[in-house]
A and B are shown apart, each in its own frame.
Chain A
Amino acid sequence: MENLLVALFEILSFGAIVVLVVLGLGIIASMMGIFNFAQGEFVLLGAYVTYLAYTAGLPVWLGMVAAPFVVGALGFVLERLIVRRFYAAPIVAMLGTYALGLIIREIVRGLIGGLYISVPEPVGGSVALGAMHFSTWRLVIIVITALVMVASYLLLSRTSFGLRVRASLENPALARASGISTNAIYGATFAFGAALAGLAGALIVPVFSLFADLGLRFLIQGFVAVMVGGIGSFAGPVAGAAVIGTLSAALPWVIQPVVADVLVFVLAIIFIKFRPQGLVSGKGI
């Protein structure tokens, strides 16, 4: 019983991390129709900013607060300068953002070398519940993920910004005719997605040791989750991330980790093949 609870907690906290990583990718894919291949590198950058702040002697939490802003700003600049030229075709966007990710990854690799970067948890220790101990930081990640999800949902469904984003998604031509600057909306959406990836990287750097090549794993996981969940809505990517995160965390308890890792992706691809619209079909929020 206690073991089961601990396992559930592990699975839940891992699922929360995947949701956090995937949310930005899902929002960009759903709202803009492009898959951002540099998303994994935005996660890496978020972790790196936190690491920099930590090595500069600042408190870790300050680095974590700064990371989404820094990465979001970078995302905004990149969208203005480069990414917007790729909107013509989804494949070109994939290749272009892949190249962008490659550049970011290699620069970070140049800066950190072959190191695994990590920072201590801002809130250490564990919470005891009876005989069981839960890592406080993982609890914090779960809480922050929940807050970020609620905030993103409210932003997209209740604010005028969200209304504009959804209008640009539903019918770009009509949105432009109604006086919405879809260009500015795309820029802001991309920056928001990048900021979420930066936050994810900052929060998980105490849990995982990050290294330059980690972006790829997040990227494939994110894609698969978004496709499983369904593109075009807010709920889709979240549902997909929950499923993929749960499976990725649960399967290694039963079978070998490598096999589990591969099996999750194979199952997901088979699922997408037979249900291309994903778990949650339809547009909107």
Chain B
Amino acid sequence: MTDTSSTAAQFTAPRTGRRLKVLPIIEVVVLAIGLLLPLVLQDYLTVFGTRVLILCLFALSFDLVWGYSGIMSFGQAVFFGSAGYGVALLARDLNVTSMLLVLPAGVLIGFSIALLIGGFLLLGRNPSSVIFVSLGTLTGSYAFDRLARGWYYLGGQNGIPSIPPMQIGGYDLTEGPVFYYFVLAILLLVYLGCRFLTKSQFGLALAGLRENEQRIAFFGYQVQHIKAIIFSLAGAIAGLAGSLYAFHEGFVWPNMLGVVMSTQVVLYVLFGGSGTLIGAVIGTVVIEIVSFWLSNSYQDIWPIILGCLMLLVILFRPAGLISLIVSHSERIGNFGRPPKPHRKERDHGSA
């Protein structure tokens, strides 16, 4: 859990002054690999790579709410899937496929639903407990899943097949290197936006909220408002990812909305390292590649391995893969280590 090396780094960091920052180096390396990949990969792997990039975008949205602000959103896929269904309907029923219309529509759908759910769960007179928020989002995810499965207009179990390709100007964006670079550019923009946000004063308030909510509230911040804002923003990013996903895959189906996808994104972020943006990206890439590689030969035991991995990460590396190479102080910044929560000091979930 707490390795001594990172504790040492914690205390020496202020004294030795500037230390070598590892995170920016990792970011540049990941970007370089991302840029070069389509040049060396076969076509079908480029398609797979595009899908992974879209999921990275989705993972970023979850990382913002959980890794940065400590809101356990167990239903993040609701925003991802609703936006996917929304743009699929736009394309199917209204023939709207222009990028300039569908991507903003996806963002808007994700944002509005997140604002509704987040506003209901987080705002109000009595602040909601962490457990209630996670339960509420989980229930929401289950409800959306059930509705999509039962609603004939949305295609029921089968979802909506054969969505026409997205159009940029007169150009049909079909899967391949162009789509790959298009998604990579969007991912980069969103990543930089998130990076700016989390390094700003607002981001500092978020991090403080994650570490010690009561103290931040004591400083006069409207804690629940900050949470609702970041929740809706993350919903917008998930919506963007969902609409890209719908057009890339060419179809949407209920699993996109439901608990399966919602827990998958938790796994990505936990595994890579929550609270660092690049951790979310790395977690998604690693898990998707390993599952792509294993799913052919070990289809049955792969989910079991995934569960065991998740358990091991929670038990021994709560900070994720990224904590193997990046020190604690660099990950969370130099405002001190959170006090270790004591086992008996919790009051039955009403944290």
Contacts and interface: CB of A to CB of B under 8 A. Distances in A.
A234 to B, nearest CB: 14
Contact of B143 (A110, A223, A266): A266
Given A87-B343, A88-B341, A90-B130, A110 B300 contact: yes
Contact of B349 (A35, A88, A109, A173): A35
B336 to A, nearest CB: 18
Contacts of B311: 82, 96, 99-100, 103
Given A103-B308, A103-B311, A173-B344, A262 B318 contact: no
A218 to B, nearest CB: 12
B331 interface: no
A284 B128 CA distance: 23
A94 B124 contact: no
Nearest to B131: A90
Given A99-B310, A265-B139, A276-B128, A91 B72 contact: yes
B259 interface: yes
A258 interface: yes
B307 A103 contact: yes
A224 B139 contact: yes
Interface string A28-44: 01100111000000000
A143 B300 CA distance: 40
A34 B307 CA distance: 20
A172 interface: yes
A118 B99 CA distance: 50
Given A99-B311, A173-B344, A273 B142 contact: no
A96 B270 CA distance: 11
A98 interface: yes
B72 A269 contact: no
Nearest to B315: A85
B132 A276 contact: yes
Interface string B313-344: 01100100000000000000000000011111
A107 B306 CA distance: 12
Contacts of B14: none
B199 to A, nearest CB: 25
Interface string B123-151: 01010111110111011101100110111
A88 B343 contact: yes
B346 interface: yes
B314 A92 contact: yes
Contact of B150 (A30, A94, A258, A266): A258
Interface in A246-278: 256, 258-259, 261-262, 265-266, 268-269, 272-273, 276
DSSP majority for the B interface? helix
Question: Residue among B314, B318, B341 with the most chain A CB within 10 A?
Answer: B314
A5 B324 CA distance: 64
B341 A89 contact: yes
Interface in A202-238: 216-217, 220, 223-224, 227, 231-232
A52 interface: no
A106 B132 contact: no
A102 interface: yes
A89 B344 CA distance: 10
Contacts of B37: none
Nearest to B346: A33
A95 interface: yes
B100 interface: no
B136 A106 contact: no
Contacts of A224: 135, 139
Interface string A14-39: 00000000000000011001110000
A98 B147 contact: no
Contacts of B47: none
Contacts of B142: 216-217, 220, 265
Contacts of A95: 266, 270, 310, 314
Nearest to B342: A88
Contacts of B134: 91, 94
B62 to A, nearest CB: 13
B143 A106 contact: no
Given A85-B315, A173-B344, A91 B130 contact: yes
Contacts of B130: 90-91
A129 B136 CA distance: 43
Question: Residue among A29, A98, A109 with the most chain B CB within 10 A?
Answer: A98
A3 to B, nearest CB: 26
Contact of B138 (A87, A110, A220, A266): A220
By Cβ-Cβ distance, the 4 closest A-B pairs, closest first, are A258-B150, A102-B307, A103-B307, A99-B310
Interface of B: 72, 120-121, 124, 126, 128-132, 134-136, 138-140, 142-143, 146-147, 149-151, 259, 263, 266, 270, 300-301, 303-304, 306-308, 310-311, 314-315, 318, 340-344, 346-351
23 contacts: A34-B349, A82-B311, A86-B314, A88-B342, A88-B343, A90-B346, A90-B351, A91-B134, A94-B131, A95-B314, A98-B310, A99-B308, A99-B314, A103-B311, A106-B307, A109-B300, A232-B348, A258-B146, A269-B135, A269-B139, A273-B120, A273-B121, A273-B136
